[in-house]
Amino acid sequence: MKKLLVYLKDYKKETVLAPLFKMLEASFELFVPLVMAQIIDTGIGQGNKGMILNMGLLLLALGIIGLVCSITAQYFAAKAAVGFSTGLKHALFGHIQSLSFSEMDTIGTSTLITRMTSDVNQVQSGVNLVLRLFLRSPFIVFGAMVMAFTIDVKAALVFVVTIPLLCIVVFGIMIISMPLYKKVQAGLDKILGITRENLTGARVVRAFNKEESEIARFQEGNESLTRMQMFVGKISALMNPVTYIIINGAVIVLIWTGALRVDAGYITQGEVVALVNYMSQILVELIKLANLIITVTKAFACANRIEAVFETSSGLVSPEKGHRAGAAEKKEGIPAVCFEHVCLTYKNAGAESLTDIHFQVQRGQTIGIIGGTGSGKSSVVNMIPRFYDATKGKVLVNGVDVKDYSLEELRSRIGMVMQKAVLFKGTIRENLLWGKEDATEEELWRALEISQSREFVETRDGGLDAPVAQAGKNLSGGQKQRLTIARALVRKPEILILDDSASALDFATDAKLRKAIREMEDAPTVFIVSQRAASIQYADAIIVMDDGEIAGMGTHDQLMQSCEVYKEIYDSQFKKEGRVS
């Protein structure tokens, strides 16, 4: 939690003023029982109506002043807490953006969402309550005890016994419940993961008629979370009855002791009432303190989970001053991309996903990468923009190790189209400008034309300003893929990576797309990852992946003669009953 308090640094004034005004309110509240004692002993006891009126007005004034102090404190506490959570969310989101794919894969998307939302909100509530009650409640508890001693020392000894007993109960329950709340938040992660999975995969669930089994899975996780919450809730619920028993027992002893002291003439009836009022104040404040501690316990558990994300550092170290494009990079003969005996092992994986990948690609070449599912095709291309780092060997771009580039410089040279076409809510223009912020209208239309998107964009209402729903749900699969390709082409990249990004296109459109890319000015070096042999058979070179290794490399004709894996893939797609279709 301490590491997160840095986000309160811009709210130092509020963090001081909020508890200060609460202390002022508490100070006025401590005078109320003494005023009541005067009303009873002097006003009612002696029939002094003027005293009753004056003391009544004083009570009213104390109430109004206390209310103003309370509202002021609430304002400053809320301002500090909301500002704190805003800064924390920005920092957490920024840190998550800096993590590599490896760390995101390890932590999990659902967990990161929970920590960005639910956990931060819990910490915000904790900060708010701490600023309001953390000093006020103990101040009233111990202030009431001190005020009781000013009335009568022997009667006040009841307070000396009662307060430690209450502290044992309150802090004992806090120590027991804190680790349990961590388990509750972990259970919430699981529920969120199931919910997110079902929402994103709703069509698949329905296609396979798995609604009932998914409902049962959610119900099982939900019931498990409910049981954990009920268990920790029962422990926390002990707080109120146990504190009430202790307080009411103390009141009984106090009244009995007070009665004896009144008979002996040591204290007055009004002072006994004042002592009971002080005990009642302690009860109210300890209930508040108990609720504060429950909230703070949750906040600490959530804060630790947020800190764990901050403590997860990215495995990708970007040099402060990365390599910049220079004349040496333009010399002929330096390959655009070079893999030097590269191996890749994913985090927490038992075996290598890529083994001894070694090849060179010259500028302007088109390279096809093909292989079965899980053969390592995407892993190869993901290492070029440093989504993952090689565990052995080197990946070079223009003769320079990718680790020597700043991430910004490296990725500005690369146009990447992922397997899953992802568009953002907004307009077609806004999505394309992700590729290049200052792109002109002409550049946007040119990218659409190359990606075979121009025709359907022109027919939509608004053209470039036509709306795009979240994740592009108002577009077909092929339209989404073509727009993501256009987004990558807008930046005119040196290296263009199409990671199975034309799978939803028909063969004719796919062929037109590849032809248009080849005819681009300053033709980029193109990597086409595909499971369709037709998409890569005319590439300058084809890399055939099999179980994380290169099974063959060459042109289509060469591989048909020398690579059995490629021949099997090609035959399975083009031959039927012994004839080429």
Instruction: Give tens-digit pLDDT for 101-124.
Output: 878 877 877 778 888 888 899 899
pLDDT computed for residue 510 by the predictor: 83
Burial grade of 400 (CB within 10 A; 0-12, 13-18, 19 or more): buried
Burial grade of 581 (CB within 10 A; 0-12, 13-18, 19 or more): exposed
DSSP state, residue 319: P
3-state secondary structure of 172: helix
pLDDT computed for residue 216 by the predictor: 92
pLDDT grade, residue 388 (50/70/90)? confident
CB distance 94 to 10 below 8 Å: no
Torsions phi, psi for 350 (to 5 deg): -85, -20
Torsions phi, psi for 468 (to 5 deg): -120, 125
pLDDT grade, residue 286 (50/70/90)? confident
Q: Write out pLDDT tens, residues 419-475.
A: 888 889 999 999 999 988 888 889 999 999 998 888 888 888 888 899 998 888 888
pLDDT grade, residue 357 (50/70/90)? very high
Which token pair is 236?
């926390």
Angstrom CA distances, 432 to 319, 463, 490, stand at: 29, 13, 7
List, in order, residues 6 or more apart from 32 with CB less than 8 Å away.
59, 62, 277
Strand partners, 495: 414, 525
Give alpha helix (H) positions in 201-268. Answer: 202-207, 211-237, 239-263
Mean pLDDT, to the nearest integer, of 242-246?
Answer: 83
Reported as type and span, the H/E element at residue 393 is strand 392-397
pLDDT computed for residue 138 by the predictor: 83
CA-wise closest residue to 435 among 458, 454, 460, 417: 417
List, in order, residues 6 or more apart from 320 with CB less than 8 Å away.
406
Torsions phi, psi for 3 (to 5 deg): -65, -25
pLDDT computed for residue 321 by the predictor: 57
Strand partners, 554: 542
pLDDT computed for residue 578 by the predictor: 45
Domains, the chain, with CATH or none: 2-311 (1.20.1560.10)
List, in order, residues 6 or more apart from 251 with CB less than 8 Å away.
276, 279, 280
Q: Does 76 score more than 90 pLDDT? A: yes
Residues recorded for the chain: 581
CB distance 62 to 32 below 8 Å: yes
Q: Does 577 score more than 90 pLDDT? A: no
Distance between CA atoms of 22 and 105, rounded to whole angstroms? 46
CA-wise closest residue to 133 among 176, 68, 74, 174: 74
Q: Write out pLDDT tens, residues 206-220.
A: 888 989 999 999 999
Angstrom CA distances, 438 to 54, 226, 334, 525, 567, stand at: 74, 51, 31, 23, 46
Q: How many other CB atoms sit within 10 Å of the CB of residue 97? A: 9
CA-wise closest residue to 37 among 277, 271, 267, 281: 271
